[in-house]
Amino acid sequence: MTTETTVHVDGLTVRHRRTTALDALDLRIGRGVHGLLGPNGAGKTSLIRVLATVAPYRSGRLELLGVDPAVPAGRTSVRRRLGYLPQEFGHYPGFTVREFVAYMAWLKEVPKAAVPEAVERAMERVGLTGRADARIRTLSGGMVRRVGIAQAIVNDPELLLLDEPTAGLDPEQRVEFRALLRELGTTSTVLVSTHLVEDVATACTEVTLLDEGRVAFCGTSGELAAAGDDDAAGDSPTERGYTAALRRHRSARAASPEAAV
């Protein structure tokens, strides 16, 4: 399967007041499930919000699904084909699951006649069909998270951005969710930020490790696991790879701050 690049990021810089969240970041992502790892404050959420076209950026160039979201027409076209689950998932507690997912389908401009079926499909894929008419406020945290995933996939997005989607899911739900991710990854570009290394090891084909707004590592999850050495901290190969890659990146930056990218 040829992997065409669907997300081009060139020299992306994002600042929040005085701090630099993303520092001239370059990134290429294609179809498949792509993990975004990194310590807290590494810039994972900043990157996802920029890619979701909700956050502005200071400088750099973006190309999402072949169009430039800085141009209004391109922005609209990308947004129709985008799915986004923010870390803090704001919703309407008085809505039923079905109402909320249908509302998001309306916002995403899913053709009117296709909405009911799209809503059913999305609810089914996250295992919420049985609770379709339950109000969101009556659902458990894990189920609300699944509502978030359902709204993200209701338009069958080509680019799916999920910020910490497994937070609040119990282990069994997490396993199911990873299976769904792999399924979505066969035809879409899925970018998942997570702090759970095992999410990456089991669900992601590729991994980008961010540290202080820069790319510390980019490769397949197998390569990340192989990057670990015996004295790196961690309980699994991926965890050891994670700490080793982070350590290497930091020492390289300390040695020559300009050269490290």
Partner 1 sequence: MSHEPPGDDALLRAVARGDSQALADLYDRHSGWLHARLTRRCSDPETVREVLQDTFVTAWRSADGHGGGAVGGWLWVIAVRRLADARRAAARAGSRDLLAARAPGTAPSAEEDVLAGLEYGDVGAALDRISPELRAVLRATVVDGLTTRETAHLLGIPEGTVKTRASRARRELRAALVALGPAGGAAC
Partner 2 sequence: MLNRRPTPAPRRAERTVRHVPDDTAAAYADGTLADSAAWSVDTHLDSCTACAIRISALVRTGGAGPLLAGVREAVLEAAAAGPRAGRTLPWRAALQSARVLRPAWVGSVLLTLAVAVALSRLGGAPEGRPWLLALAPVLPPVGVALAYGRYGDPAHELAASTPSGGLRLLLTRTGLVLAVCVPLLSAAGGVLAGAGAAVAWLLPGLVLTGATLALGSWTGCHRAAVAVTAAWLLAVALCGLPAVAVPLLLSPAAQPAWAAAAAACACLLILRRTAFDHLERP
The residue ranges that bind partner 1 (CB under 8 A) are 1-2, 4, 31, 112-117, 119-121, 125, 129, 132, 156, 158, 179, 182-187
Helices (H), 8-71: 44-51
Which listed residue (5, 76, 220, 236) binds partner 2 by CB under 8 A? 76
- Rounded to 5°, the CA angle 50-81-130 comes to 105
Choice between 192 and 201, CB closer to partner 2: 192
The option from partner 1, partner 2, none interacting with 229 (CB < 5 to 8 A, set by class) reads none
Residue 193 C-beta: closest distance to partner 1, Å: 21
| Separation CA 152–CA 79 (nearest Å) | 11
Structural contact between residues 151 and 82, judged by C-beta atoms closer than 8 angstroms: no
Choice between 32 and 74, CB closer to partner 2: 74
Q: What is the distance, to the nearest Å, from the Cα of residue 225 to the centroid of all Cα atoms in its chain?
A: 21
| Separation CA 221–CA 207 (nearest Å) | 6
Q: Which of 241, 189, 197, 249 is nearest to 29 (CA)?
A: 189
Q: Which of 55, 67, 75, 65 is nearest to 12 (CA)?
A: 55
Choice between 11 and 106, CB closer to partner 2: 106
Region binding partner 2 by CB under 8 A among candidate stretches 33-41, 77-85, 226-234, 239-247: 77-85
Residue 190 C-beta: closest distance to partner 2, Å: 15
Residue type, position 20, single letter:
T
The option from partner 2, partner 1, none interacting with 156 (CB < 5 to 8 A, set by class) reads partner 1
Q: Is 145 in the site for partner 2 (CB under 8 A)?
A: no
